[in-house]
Structure 1
Amino acid sequence: MITITEFQKIGVGLSGFGVFFVMFGVLLYFDSVLLAFGNILFLSGLAFIIGFRRTAHFFFQKQKLRGTTFFLGGVALVLLKWPRIGMLVESYGFVVLFKSFFPMAFGFFGTALNIPFLTTMYNKLSGSSSSMV
């Protein structure tokens, strides 16, 4: 069984509130204060969950430097009160940074929840030929 430390519990809470504030900021027509607060909470929660050194190592790997530049540049644009452009840049950076996790997430949700659309998408992304499309 995996043990979860107190820092990781705090990190999950911070990340959850960060995602909530980002979604709430988008719903309120890209409110820059809520988006900035959500970005800061999400990044600090990520650092609490996986550790500060691992977070820095993840973001500053050579093959992920373009995604990191776009993601942190988008955060900076949101902090500089350009929320729409900042969220577009940040979204592109997020996709580039976390593209290796998407097939695993689609597979998990597709098999755990038995959702046909996600299972088909996982099979296509993973290169499996057992898809019945």
Structure 2
Amino acid sequence: MFEITDTQKIGVGLAGFGITFLFLGVLLLFDKGLLAIGNLLFISGLGCVIGPLRTLNFFFQRHKLKGSAAFLGGIFVVLLGWPLVGMIIETYGFVILFSGFLPVAINFLRRVPILGTFLNMPGISRVLDMLAGDTNRTTV
């Protein structure tokens, strides 16, 4: 097993609060204050969990610069007071950044008992197959 440091525990809490604030901000019709706080908490939590240097290395890899620019630019637009536009830009950047992880996550969710039944329905399954790409390379 590996040991979790106190900084990583704090980071998980910060990221969790960040996701909660982001969810509430979207739920309350794109409240710019909640979205801004959620973005800041999520980024700071990510930095605490994986470390500042690894966070910078993740966001500023050569092949991820487009996604990083969109994600961080979306956060900046939210902070400027345009929450709907900022969240659209952020979502685009998030999809670009984590597109390599998306097939693995979709195939994992398909194996969850109740959720898997829903995700394997004909219409939803076709959409997820397009998002996941080639399922043969992500099968474990």
Does structure 2 retain, via aligned residues, the 8 Å contact 1:107–1:122? no
| Counterpart check, 1:32 vs 2:32 | yes
RMSD: 2.2
> 2:103, 2:135 within 8 Å by CA — same for their partners in 1?
no
Over 3 Å counting, the alpha-carbon distance change for 1:122 and 1:53 in structure 2 is farther
TM-score after normalising by structure 1: 0.88
Q: What TM-score, normalized by structure 2, do the two folds share? A: 0.83
CA deviations on 1:15-70 (whole Å, 9 max, x unpaired) are 11000000100111111010000000000000011110000000000100000000
How many residues align? The count is: 129
CA distance in 2, matches of 1:38, 1:101: 22
What CA distance in whole angstroms lies between the structure 1 residues aligned with 2:27 and 2:135? 36
Offset from partner CA, 1:89-129 (integer Å, 9 cap, x none): 000000000111111112222224461426x5479634339
Structure 2 residue ranges without an equivalent (≥5) = none
Which consecutive unaligned segments of at least 5 residues does structure 1 have?
Answer: none
CA distance, structure 1, for counterparts of residue 52 and residue 107 of structure 2: 28
